[in-house]
């Protein structure tokens, strides 16, 4: 992996091996409109996973390249067609004005108040992570560590 690659601390238990899909790849998946299942991810080689971590996915050309690569990898390793995912033209993690309801609800459940200024000061990656962690039942255990890592508590 390149030196520019950064992971969240709450992902530390699996990023060395990339046995789970890191948040930065999950953001790219949502950006390019591909649903990737963990068993599919685990069929990719270490080099392919690292490429998916490092490959940019921001401009329209990068998004198309990323999507095409994912489609080829899924087909090559699973003989399945990659599942399309609807692309939100206005994703909640890009909204600096309004805290995502799932994040607000999850924070309230554990007695944490996230103010609009806290939300606006988070990076896009951090807002994305909190949204995913507040929705995803199997990862809820990382919501509190993420709040601590992002200095919200």
Instruction: Decide: pTM greater than 0.85.
Output: yes
* Mean residue pLDDT across the chain: 91
- The fraction of the chain above a pLDDT of 70, given in percent, is 94
Q: What pLDDT sits at residue 152? A: 93
Q: What pLDDT sits at residue 25? A: 96
What is the tens place of the pLDDT at every residue in 63-102?
999 999 999 999 999 999 999 999 999 999 999 999 999 9
What is the tens place of the pLDDT at every residue in 128-148?
999 999 986 666 789 999 999
Q: Are 25 and 53 in contact (CB under 8 A)?
A: yes
Over residues 42-60, the mean pLDDT reads 96
Over the range 109-118, which residues count as b (16 or more CB within 10 Å of their CB) and which as e?
A: eeebebeeeb
Q: What pLDDT sits at residue 137? A: 65
What is the Cβ-side half-sphere exposure of residue 145, based on CA atoms within 13 angstroms?
11
Report the length, in residues, of the chain: 153
Q: What pLDDT sits at residue 3? A: 36
Q: What pLDDT sits at residue 139? A: 62
């Amino acid at each position: 992996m390149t030196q520019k690659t950064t992971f969240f601390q709450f992902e530390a238990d699996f990023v060395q091996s990339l046995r789970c899909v890191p948040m930065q790849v999950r953001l790219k998946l949502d950006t390019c409109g591909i649903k990737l299942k963990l068993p599919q991810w685990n069929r990719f080689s270490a080099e392919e996973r690292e490429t998916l971590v490092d490959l940019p996915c921001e401009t329209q050309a990068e998004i198309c390249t990323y999507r095409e690569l994912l489609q080829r990898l899924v087909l090559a390793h699973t003989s399945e067609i990659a599942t399309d995912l609807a692309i939100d033209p206005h994703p909640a993690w890009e909204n600096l004005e309004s805290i995502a309801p799932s994040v607000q609800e999850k924070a309230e459940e554990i007695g944490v108040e996230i103010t609009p200024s806290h939300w606006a000061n988070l990076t896009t990656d951090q807002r994305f992570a909190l949204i995913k962690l507040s929705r995803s039942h199997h990862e809820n255990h990382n919501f509190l560590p993420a709040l601590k890592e992002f200095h919200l508590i």
